[in-house]
Amino acid sequence: MILILDHTETEFSKNLRSVFDRRGEKTLLLTCEDIVRDTSTAFYLGAQKADFRVQYKDHDFHASDIKGIYCGINAFTPYHFPHFSAEDASFAAMETQAFWLALLASLTCRDVNPPALDALAGTYLSPAEFLFLAHSIGFHIPMVAYLESGASAAEVYKAGVPARYSDLGKPWVEEINHDQVNIRLMSENGDHFMVQENPAGTSVWVTIIGKQLVACELNASGTIIETLKEQLPKLIRSRILKLNNILNLHVAEYIFKLRQDGQWYLCGVTRPPQISIIAYGERIYHEIADYILGLGE
């Protein structure tokens, strides 16, 4: 069986399930709501191995029944327990997180993306932490600043600085021309604003699936087109693979700006891939499915 976990039934998770279904694979998609409301789980920890049992409606399976897993859930939050008191919801979220972290870590099949120390789907960093890590590996990165108030951020905006302006004190980010996924999972100070430089240049997206790379770019006419991975500098390719490994990711999409002077600026990362699917369509889903089933590197 293929197990797909996601915050909600997203287009990505539904399309991935469709690919597995057409291949004749038994597939179960569970959302956070499914897990906290309708799923019964048991975890067994022995001297030699760990096992678990999951029951969801008419599904009843053990760890040994799972051939592969896609996990799009970074974390459970108090938001997933709306009928609890604030204190109980916080406790329930931490307990659910710890349980599924242990459960996923016990699997021996391929897991996209595998759990990290405190997240269910790879290492989850704030934008500033991510860019600091990228810079330490050797990437050029945009400027990022954290300001004490919205008034300070407004002054920078009025000056015409090309940047993203993020209010980190809101449950969902309020930005100009940018969609930030899962902002409520970020542990930032509640009244701080983030300003991130938006370098001029060609937008390029590089998706990693296992050890394979595919790339696309925004051309002059505003169309997303495929880009040969051979056009990516060898140093950039090697650094992406290194960064992906540090982040404990098997599938991710990296966002670059290629400046006119030939410098590559790494601006962010998303998972699952988004823009690459526009360029490559269903091929991305099939390559992820191949990787999960052990048919690709």
3-state secondary structure the chain: CEEEEECCCCHHHHHHHHHHHHCCCCEEEEEHHHHHHHEEEEEEECCCCEEEEEEECCEEEEHHHCCEEEECCCCCCHHHCCCCCHHHHHHHHHHHHHHHHHHHHCCCCEEECCCCCCCCCCCCCCHHHHHHHHHHHCCECCCEEEECCHHHHHHHHHCCCCEEEEECCCCCCCCCCCCCCCHHHCCCCCCCEEEEECCCCEEEEEEEECCEEEEEEECCCCCEEEECHHHCCHHHHHHHHHHHHHCCCCEEEEEEEECCCCCEEEEEEECCCCHHHHHHCHHHHHHHHHHHCCCCC
Q: Do 244 and 252 touch, CB atoms closer than 8 A?
A: yes
**In the prediction, which pLDDT does 165 show?**
58
Q: What are the structural domains, with CATH classification, of the chain?
A: 2-112 (3.40.50), 143-197 (no CATH), 202-292 (3.30.470.20)
**In the prediction, which pLDDT does 204 show?**
95
| pTM (two decimals) | 0.82
**In the prediction, which pLDDT does 177 show?**
37
For every one of its 297 residues, what pLDDT tens digit does the chain have, with 9 covering 90 and above? 999 999 999 999 999 999 999 999 999 999 999 999 999 988 887 777 778 889 999 999 998 899 999 999 988 989 889 889 989 999 999 999 998 998 898 888 999 999 987 789 988 887 878 888 999 999 999 887 666 555 666 666 666 666 665 655 543 334 433 334 433 333 344 445 666 777 889 999 999 999 999 999 998 888 999 987 788 899 999 999 999 999 999 999 999 999 989 999 999 999 999 999 999 999 999 999 999 999 866
Output the CA torsion 10→13→19→24 (10° steps): -120
